[in-house]
Homo-oligomer: A and B are copies of this chain.
């Protein structure tokens, strides 16, 4: 009985690999099925199923031990970074070249990232002047797959008031993103941070912007680095 050869160059497989990459964090820790199911909006059983395929393909995309979570193999990591590169180049392109509002780039890039060719990738990269960061401040993986380490930390970690520089902003919540943008909270902006309470922050991005009160959940979406 030969195992049937399955095609894993699919949008769906891409999304699983992206999710494992995102949830594994910089340490590439093992990720649980439930966490993946949550993030992908599918049933846990569907996750198990896909992980088994990804793990047993001729070139495995994940290392997977039953009930012990998954992490990416070298091939899986390569693929995840390629898609991430597509995503971030597309976001930059939509923002810079097509004048998209910042809060709309994510969804469009999320769809298109699976379908653009290498030529398309190369052409927009060239057109944009080989950018290193997308409009949310996230680093764009190089073609080689190399990606620089993050030295920033989440705003939600800040205990003491102070001045910081906005490093990056999550693109997951477009409503929040729009609000942050309207208050001048954009990558590179200088930020006065007041920790009102355990649950509440106040941000000020300078004279021309109104201060913004932000709950802890929102503060998790903003990453900052020291002022100088």
Q: Measuring CB to CB, which residues of chain A are less than 8 angstroms from any residue of chain B?
A: 94, 97-100, 104, 107-108, 111-112, 115-117, 119-120, 123-124, 127
Chain B residues with CB under 8 A of A119: 100, 104, 108
Query: From DSSP, what is the main secondary structure of chain A's interface residues?
Result: helix
Task: Decide if A111 touches B115 in the complex (CB within 8 Å).
Answer: yes
Given the complex of chains A and B, what is the CA–CA distance between A123 and B111 in angstroms?
17
In contact, A127 and B98 (Cβ under 8 angstroms): yes
Q: Determine the distance from Cα of A116 to Cα of B90 in the docked complex, in whole angstroms.
A: 12
Q: CA separation between A107 and B118, bound complex, in Å? A: 13
Contact of A120 among B108, B124, B127 (CB under 8 A): B108
10 A-B pairs in the complex with CB atoms less than 8 angstroms apart: A94-B120, A98-B127, A99-B123, A100-B119, A100-B123, A104-B119, A108-B117, A108-B120, A112-B112, A115-B115
Inter-chain contacts of A127 with B (CB < 8 A):
97-98
A120 to B99, CA, bound (A): 10
A115 to B119, CA, bound (A): 18
Partner of A98, one of B100, B108, B123: B123
Task: Tell whether, in the assembled complex, residue A98 and residue B120 are in contact, meaning their CB atoms are under 8 Å apart.
Answer: yes
Chain B residues lying within 8 Å of A97, measured Cβ to Cβ, are: 97, 127
Q: Distance (Å) between the CB of A11 and the closest chain B CB?
A: 10
Beyond A98-B123, A98-B127, 6 additional pairs, beta carbon < 8 A: A98-B120, A99-B123, A100-B123, A104-B119, A111-B117, A112-B116
**Chain B residues with CB under 8 A of A104:** 119
- CB contacts (< 8 Å) of A120 on chain B: these are 94, 98, 108
B112 in contact with A115 (CB, 8 Å)? yes
A107→B127 CA distance, assembly (Å): 21
On chain B, the residues within 8 Å of A107 by CB distance are 117
